[in-house]
Amino acid sequence: MRRHRNIKTVLLQASPVSGELRLRSLTHVAGENKTSAVHKEFGCAFSVDVAECYFSPRLSHERMRIASMVEPNETVVNMFAGVGCFSIVIAKHANPAKVFSIDVNPAAMQLMQENIRLNMVYGKVIPLLGDSKEIINSRLQWVADRVLMPLPEKALEYLPCALSALKASGGWIHYYGLEHSTKTESPTEKVKLKVAEKLDALGVDFEVPFVRVVRSTGPNWFQLAVDVHVM
């Protein structure tokens, strides 16, 4: 803190991420005893509370990568929106018609609404509180050109629901998964095979033009991004 004067609080991650809301235990180490802050990236500002909702600044490259792919007037469904980072970066740097941003965590939803105000994306980002399966099944069937699934723990289970959100003409699914991979294995090939097997079982016509390792999450564990084009 003496060297980096911009740091006001230091917290220790005292447990792994767990539970439906992907929260972790935190222990205050130094500085102000708080868990909230404003994070800035690519001209966007995000109110976050790391004790109340999941947030990772290490996904900033992915947020901008996806935003660069969004075509004008697309309808986007973000199935696991958190405080709205992916959705708001898309709204600020692309020109979507709507970004429907779903999250089951009321605390994340409150922060998302604050972030919509901070970034002046009213009418572009539509916050929706609840389980994405239920919301898509009840009101967002066949509406999306692009679906985001930035929750690795549930992405495979929710993949059929993501398909049902896409327009009948098809579109893109951005799938994020976790894979364990030894030195003799390829995490990108493992996740690609897993997604392909699921989609083949659902009778979907698709291609996977891009897979990348986003980051390491532990010894031999990797988070991966998979871009799926559904025809």
**CA distance linking residue 30 with residue 25, whole number of Å:** 16
Q: How confident is the model at residue 117 (pLDDT cuts 50, 70, 90)?
A: very high
Q: What is the pLDDT of residue 20?
A: 79
What are the structural domain ranges in the chain? 9-49, 58-230
| Structure-block tokens of residue 56 | 């990772």
Q: What is the pLDDT of residue 103?
A: 97
Q: What is the pLDDT of residue 21?
A: 81
pLDDT digits (tens, 9 = 90+) for 32-73: 999 999 999 999 999 999 999 988 899 999 999 999 999 999
CA distances from residue 10 to 34, 36, 102 in whole angstroms, order as listed: 9, 12, 30
pLDDT digits (tens, 9 = 90+) for 1-33: 999 998 999 999 988 887 778 888 999 999 999
Q: What is the pLDDT of residue 63?
A: 98
> What would be the CATH architecture of the domain defined by 58-230?
3-Layer(aba) Sandwich (3.40)
**CA distance linking residue 195 with residue 190, whole number of Å:** 9
Q: What is the pLDDT of residue 24?
A: 84
* Cα angle 24, 26, 30; round to 5: 155
**Quick one: average pLDDT of 157-182?**
97
**CA distance linking residue 104 with residue 21, whole number of Å:** 8
Q: Tokens 């539509």, residue?
A: 126
Cβ contacts of 110 within 8 Å, gap of 6 or more: none
Q: What is the pLDDT of residue 23?
A: 84
Mean pLDDT of the chain: 96
pLDDT digits (tens, 9 = 90+) for 121-145: 999 999 999 999 999 999 999 999 9
pLDDT digits (tens, 9 = 90+) for 102-111: 999 999 999 9
pLDDT digits (tens, 9 = 90+) for 70-98: 999 999 999 999 999 999 999 999 999 99
